[in-house]
Structure formats: structure tokens, C-alpha cells
A = this chain, B = another copy of it.
Amino acid sequence: MPEWLLYPTPHSFISRGMRRKPPRKDRPAFRGNPKEKASQPAKRARGETWIYGLHAVQAALANPRRRLGRAVLTARAAETIGAELLARVRVEPAEAEAINRLLPPGAVHQGAALETEPLAALDLDAVLAQGEPGKRRVVLVLDQLSDPHNVGAILRTAAAFDVAAVIVQDRHAPPQSGALAKAASGALETVPYIEVVNIVRALDRLAERGFWRIALAGDGAEPLTKVIPQGDVALVLGSEGDGIRRLVREHCEAGAFIPIAGQMESLNVSNAAAIALYELRRGTSS
């Protein structure tokens, strides 16, 4: 194991030239630009480079693609995670209270916090070039979903239903850490999570590859069951507040809804995604 993995300090962690994405306005960097900081306070809160929660930390430790800083753990969490996974990382024993102070208020860390680099960016074409022949491929496209709990929960469900990729717009996606990783319960390490500049262009690329694009929204034209084709599907979901943007919707072949009772206006977006993925995987495998 390289020495820098055993003894990284916050400084050496940066200076050893670990590959990372170029800093962007909406993305925390290890070294901040004070001008950005002033204009983007919410996005630069402490704890954004941390992954916490037992499942999320275990999965990150088990992911060879993941570059790690230190793991700050209670004795109990360290025991649960086990020596094998912890051999990769410098462990800093701590009380739960001390871990609280490293993370955003209210973070449910279960005694486990892990300093990480974001995963290396993935390319949509490379991801789509994989996949089993004969099995329907499903891709989720999240149009401006910014709530990390929702996006994380969707990643978890995506893993459960064997989704080929989750595509988000980089300018509006929540950071790939913290609350997102916690809600994903390890799925951030296994489901290809692709940040694109332009959702419409990504939909065009999916169409070129034969994906049938379905916009899922409360005011869709037909029930979901009526619009599911035989082949590959890109399912587009919008944010809870604003839904799917018009231009994005216009780049879909179909608009579909999940039938619900009149007394509730809408489903939570992660629950809508779960139902839709279940329906897409139901019965047919072609």
C-alpha cells in the first residue's frame, strides 16, 4: 500500500497530486476560492468531502476506484466495519460527539465518517458500451433534482433494479458525498453516476443508441404501463418543485404518470422512481 494512503494529512492529501475534477463554481474544492465561497455559502458547508454512515462508509472502503483520506470512527463502528476494509485507510478513533463536529448539523453518521475524493468522472458513451445483451437497459435522467436525500434514495433503488446509469446535470446535482451517499446506502459506489453539462444533449445521445425516452410526471399523458416499449428505456424525472423542464420533456417520446388517488397531489420523487423501475423490470426482461 502506498505510504500516502496510510498517512495522509489534509495538506498531503491535496499536494500529492491525486487526480480530481477541475474545481467548478458549484462544487466544493479542497482549496477554496474565497470569491466563490462568498457567493455559494450553502454549497461550501463543512463536511462536503465526507462520506458518513455505516453502509456508505463500508461501500466506499470496498470500492477500489475510491481514493480515500482518513476514516474517523467510534470503536463500535470500527468493529462493525472490520479490520479487512480498514486496512486501506488511516483510522482516527473518535467519540461520536467529535464526529458530529466534522459533519453538517444533523448528519446521521452512526459513528463512521470517511474523508474522500469524488469518484473519477464517467463518460456516458463508455458506460452505455457495456451492458448485457438481451436484457432491457434502463437509464435514469434526473432533471435538476437537487435534494441529496432524494438523489441518494434514487441511487439506492437504481442499484436494486439494475439501472445502467443515473444521469444528472452537473450544475444542479448535489455533491457526491454526505447526505447523498448516506441515502444511497452504498449505491454511489456501484451505480454509474454521470454528470453531464446538458441534459437535452444526453437525451439525444440516448436516442441515437435506441433508448425510448419517457418523461415521468404527474401530468403525463398516459399511465406508465401503456408507454413501456420492448427495448431500452431512459426514464426522466423532474425536481419536486418545478418538475421536468419543457425543453427536456420535448426531447422525450412519451409522457407518463403513475395512477394515484386524488387526495394526494404527487408522489415523492424517489418513490415515483421506485415504482417506475419496478414496473420496467416487471414481467419482461427484453
A residues with CB within 8 A of B:
104-106, 149, 153, 156-157, 159-162, 183, 185-187, 190, 258-261, 263-264, 266-268, 270-272, 274-275, 278-279, 281
Given known A-B contacts A161-B260, A278-B275, A267 and B190 have beta carbons under 8 A apart: no
Contacts of A259 in B (CB 8 A): 281
CB A120 to nearest CB in B, in angstroms, measures 20
- In angstroms, Cα B185 to Cα A161, docked, is 26
Cross-chain contact A274 with B264 (CB below 8 angstroms): no
CB A49 to nearest CB in B, in angstroms, measures 18
Cross-chain contact B267 with A274 (CB below 8 angstroms): yes
Contacts of A281 in B (CB 8 A): 259
Please provide the 4 A-B residue pairs with the shortest distance between their CB atoms, ordered closest to farther: A106-B106, A105-B105, A271-B274, A160-B264
In this complex, the member of A157, A263, A264, A281 whose beta carbon has the largest number of chain B beta carbons within 10 angstroms is A264
Can you report 29 residue pairs joining A to B where beta carbons are below 8 Å apart? A105-B105, A105-B106, A153-B268, A153-B270, A156-B267, A156-B268, A157-B268, A159-B261, A159-B264, A160-B260, A160-B261, A161-B260, A161-B261, A162-B261, A162-B263, A183-B268, A185-B268, A187-B264, A190-B263, A258-B278, A267-B274, A268-B270, A268-B274, A270-B271, A271-B274, A272-B274, A274-B275, A278-B278, A278-B279
CB A108 to nearest CB in B, in angstroms, measures 9
Contacts of A187 in B (CB 8 A): 264
- In angstroms, Cα B279 to Cα A266, docked, is 17
- In angstroms, Cα B153 to Cα A268, docked, is 7
CB A270 to nearest CB in B, in angstroms, measures 6
In this complex, the member of A160, A185, A258, A260 whose beta carbon has the largest number of chain B beta carbons within 10 angstroms is A160
Cross-chain contact B159 with A263 (CB below 8 angstroms): yes
Contacts of A268 in B (CB 8 A): 153, 156-157, 183, 185, 270, 274
Contacts of A185 in B (CB 8 A): 268
- In angstroms, Cα B268 to Cα A185, docked, is 9
CB A219 to nearest CB in B, in angstroms, measures 15
Q: Which of B104, B156, B162, B264 contacts A156 (CB 8 A)?
A: B264
Contacts of A266 in B (CB 8 A): 160
Contacts of A104 in B (CB 8 A): 106
CB A165 to nearest CB in B, in angstroms, measures 14
Contacts of A183 in B (CB 8 A): 268
In this complex, the member of A258, A263, A266 whose beta carbon has the largest number of chain B beta carbons within 10 angstroms is A263
CB A104 to nearest CB in B, in angstroms, measures 7
Contacts of A271 in B (CB 8 A): 153, 156-157, 270-271, 274
Contacts of A153 in B (CB 8 A): 268, 270-271
- In angstroms, Cα B100 to Cα A105, docked, is 12
